[in-house]
A and B are shown apart, each in its own frame.
Chain A
């Protein structure tokens, strides 16, 4: 989706403001919101890519106005309503609907600790052909899906060099919409800064992105 979340290269957002001695969470609600997100994902109604797409689907003006975790509140509520976990009336009242069945949480404290300390693996040990090789010059496809993608706008149509084949990974563009993991090779691409930003960039500067097979085309 060509949303406001795709910020690379935008101008006029102002200076980077660094807070000294910033706490991990600025208020308890931020931590609870973060943790609810992690715990809810254990129900598998959506995955990491679907969650990101949920955030990207926050209307553009709201996305820019909201704080980070306020955005998470908005997207989590929408995802839960859309997947039938809660109703809007329940969210509005903070109470389960009459006759609502009490479930057993999908994530215990022990499982939560394991997820946080182990992380999640997104590579897949399956044999998939690699159609591109290290050292090869390739072009990013010029695509504008209205759905989820991790191909930033600023790299579309641009040419880079394959620096490394990372092996096979889950493809976010389908995974986000529960259309399958479509595992495929993920390549580290190096772009000259001038290829992306023109002659104002220094000739020696570069930018690295990881690109899935489906984003690439031969030159």
Chain B
């Protein structure tokens, strides 16, 4: 790869008459970021300028961009995974199919997700999903990942200290519980089938789905019964 640091910086400061020095307020906001990530104050302008260029050159169709943004903002998200999990909790045969072949099981419910796999949490086994190399995530059932999932702290520590990360996020595990970390380095996409909490025996699929959060399907939270939900 022949890209130099200089070429990136040229791009970074060249577009849209970018200011070389960010305003004081932006610097302060940057310093306050816990994840040390810098959002340059002019990046919105640069992206708008890029889109305008690409549309004028006929390289992208703005209607295609609208469709993609709309799909992730309004259609594809953790509510899909929650429905799948609620079905698995209430239908043992479906649960078996989900664990055997999640791609086919979610297709029964009308969802598409190539190479998707469900891994089951039990009182003895806790699964947690990460992508150390980039940001691979089961988008077909959870939508786009949150910032923390893509952040250096989560990507770096989850593999070497999963119990520490889980503890900080409020998940306490027994010492003899087995932790399985899934590093999504290939095109296979994992999501967690969390444990069904006690006290939910009378609930139907919709009520159960409402309890199932995104993080419980990443493995960084446990599903709480209705009474103790914040």
CA distance A48 to B139 in the complex (A): 15
- What's the nearest-Cβ distance from chain B to residue A116, in Å? 4
Residue A10 CB within 8 A of the other chain? yes
- Asked if B97 lies at the interface with its beta carbon under 8 angstroms from chain A, I say no
Cβ of A35 < 8 Å from any Cβ of B? yes
Instruction: Indicate with 1 or 0, residue by residue over B175-201, a CB within 8 angstroms of chain A CB atoms.
Output: 110111111011110000000000000
A179 interface contact, C-beta 8 A:
no
A-contact bits for B1-26, CB 8 A (1 contact / 0 none): 10111011111101110000000000
Q: Which residues of A contact B52 (CB under 8 A)?
A: 94
Give the interface size class of chain B. 35 or more
Q: Are B49 and A94 in contact (CB under 8 A)?
A: yes
Interface residues of A in 15-36 (CB under 8 A from B): 15-19, 22, 24-29, 31-36
B61 within 8 A of A: yes
Q: Do B56 and A85 have beta carbons less than 8 Å apart?
A: no
Q: Would you list which residues of chain A between 55 and 78 have a CB under 8 Å from chain B?
A: 55, 57-59, 61-62, 64-70, 73-74, 76-78
Q: Which of B16, B63, B76, B188 contacts A210 (CB under 8 A)?
A: B188
Contact residue among B15, B44, B67, B165 (Cβ-Cβ distance under 8 Å from A94): B15
Q: What secondary structure prevails in chain B residues at the interface with A?
A: helix
In the bound complex, do residue A86 and residue B53 qualify as a contact, i.e. CB atoms below 8 Å apart?
A: yes
Considering residues B44, B53, B139, B159, which has the most beta carbons from chain A within 10 angstroms of its beta carbon? B159
CA A35 to CA B4, docked complex, whole Å: 26
Q: What chain B residues lie within 8 Å of A66 (beta carbons)?
A: 37-38
Is the CB of A46 closer than 8 A to any CB of chain B? no
Given the known interface contacts A103-B59, A206-B180, the answer about A122 and B64 at a Cβ–Cβ threshold of 8 Å is no
- Contact (A17, B151) CB under 8 Å given A103-B58, A169-B186, A169-B187: yes
- In angstroms, how far is the closest chain B Cβ from the Cβ of A123? 7
Verify if B147 is at the interface (C-beta below 8 Å from A).
Answer: yes
Which of B69, B135, B182 has the most chain A CB atoms closer than 10 A to its own CB?
Answer: B69
Question: Are B182 and A29 closer than 8 Å at their CB atoms?
Answer: no
In the complex, A54→B6 CA distance in Å?
Answer: 15
Say whether B8 contacts A59, CB under 8 Å. Answer: yes
Q: Is the CB of B15 within 8 A of A29?
A: no
Bound complex: CA of A38 vs CA of B159, how far in Å?
29
A147 CA / B45 CA spacing, docked (Å): 32
Within 8 A of A (CB), among B54-87: 54, 56-61, 63-69, 71-73, 75-77
Please give 20 more A-B residue pairs, beta carbons under 8 A apart, in addition to A14-B35, A39-B64, A73-B47: A15-B34, A18-B146, A24-B72, A39-B65, A70-B38, A77-B50, A78-B3, A94-B15, A102-B58, A103-B58, A107-B61, A109-B64, A112-B67, A117-B71, A119-B114, A119-B140, A152-B183, A154-B132, A197-B160, A207-B180
Q: List 6 A-B contacts (CB under 8 A).
A: A8-B159, A25-B69, A25-B72, A36-B47, A36-B65, A92-B14
Kindly list the 5 A-B residue pairs having the minimum CB-CB distance in the complex, ordered from nearest.
Answer: A8-B132, A94-B49, A103-B58, A210-B186, A35-B68
